[in-house]
Amino acid sequence: MQKKEARVEVRMTDREKKTLKRKAAKYEMTVSEYARTLLIHSDDVTIKVIDTEPLKKAAHELAKQGTNLNQFMKFLNTYGVKVFDPDEAKRVLEKEVSTFSEIMEALAALRREADRNNVHLQIEDFNNLDNE
């Protein structure tokens, strides 16, 4: 019985493309020439990749919380606020917003720190954290 290999497709982000084009232009090279030159002539290149599985799990949890909030809002819109304790609703929503904000701030800080230290974060949809 043969093992089936999992294939992971990693696409270059717009930010990475711009950086690569800028660096290649600095040496008046095409991106292909620049990449080929680096790969062929660099024996001491260190690529730092950190495990982002915990971040993926946090993103999954946030998505679940988003679903819960949507259900909560649908309930309020369907049955009205009077059937639900407004103080409890406010407390739940404030806690969700606070938690979401903390996670987004932590992810944006992680991205900035990774960029400062030349660490590649291999995670999807991680490009616009500073803008949100």
> What is the 3-state secondary structure of 63-105?
HHHHHHHHHHHHHHHHHCHHHCCHHHHHHHHHHHHHHHHHHHH
Is this prediction's pTM over 0.75? no
Residues 6+ apart with CB under 8 A from 56: 123
The pLDDT tens digits along the chain (132 residues) read 555 665 666 688 888 899 999 999 998 889 998 888 888 877 766 666 666 677 777 778 788 888 888 888 888 788 877 777 778 778 878 888 888 888 888 788 888 888 887 776 655 554 444 444
Q: What residue type is assigned to position 127 of the chain?
A: N
Q: Which of 77, 125, 72, 69 is nearest to 97 (CA)?
A: 69
Domain limits, the chain: 11-45, 47-131
Q: What's the CA gap between 129 and 114, in Å, rounded?
A: 13
